[in-house]
Structure formats: C-alpha cells, structure tokens
Structure 1
C-alpha cells in the first residue's frame, strides 16, 4: 500500500484514496462479521464493543448479508478501532508524503 501511494504521490489522487479507504474499512468490517459465525459470538462481541443489549441482540439475529451488515457496523467498529487493529489509512499516509 505504501509503495502504491509513493508511486502515485505526484498525481492528485486524494478523492480516489478517500473512496478506497472507505471501501477497505467496509471490507474489514465485513470480514469481522463473517468471522463471528454464531449468533452468540456476534452478540458477545457487539456487547464487548459497548452496544446496548437490545440493539446487540437485534443485529446479531439479523439475516442481512455481510456487506449490508458492514454498513450497519459502521457505528460500532469505528475508524479509530480499525486504526488500532493496524490498518493505516492510505489518505493519511498520502497527505503526510505530499507535505514533504
């Protein structure tokens, strides 16, 4: 990812990187939702992230697909949590590279 940003740093790719970051974070959320296979696990993990009982139960029992639930999980698995997990934002890296 860093090499790609370094290569294209001369071009104005701010909008592209913003859209790509948004997609990548949604994909990360979908992967986590897919890892939590059982309803019990989904409920437990949502509760651990600070969600209320009724809302966690409602989302854990949802029959929506992974991609749709990734959009719903946007408020639970925030960008700060994803950054803590080790995902560095391409846009932030691009902005630091372009400053120099």
Structure 2
C-alpha cells in the first residue's frame, strides 16, 4: 500500500479564495482588514493572504459563531496565532 499523499498548503491566498472557502463575502474580509484584525501583504492593488492570515480569519469566524463580537474574536485570534504573544502582552482579550 502506498502512503497517502498529504495536501500541500498554498503559500498564499487571494481574497476570493478565502471568501469562497469560508462562505463569506470579500467585503466581509475587507471589513476585518479595516478593523485591523488581519493584515494581508499587498502586491500593487492585490491583497496576498498568508496561511497565518487564513488561520486568523478562521478563528475570527469561529469566535463570531460562538457569539463574540468581531473585535473580541479578532483579539483572541491574535493571541492564539502570534507565537511571540505572551500573557502579559495580552490586553485582557479572553485568550483561549
């Protein structure tokens, strides 16, 4: 038997790819960007989202489903996705 091949995670995502994957509009993603919850790189006018941005967006959307505001959910996602974040640097944001 051959070992199963693992799917390779893309190095970057477009806004439309993320919107399609999570079933939200591109406008919703831009809203989270305007709030400072995600910060994609730019190539001219094009937004380039990293795997970390994807995880952060996933955590924001999960927090929203659990009843947190987008700001509160975004703050939690920052604490859980930044390896350099420490409890003392947390601003009381309900880290998980």
TM-score, structure 2 as length reference: 0.29
TM-score, structure 1 as length reference: 0.28
The structure whose residues are more often strand, as a share, is: 2
Larger radius of gyration: 1
Point out which structure has higher relative CO (alpha carbons under 8 A, 6+ apart): 1
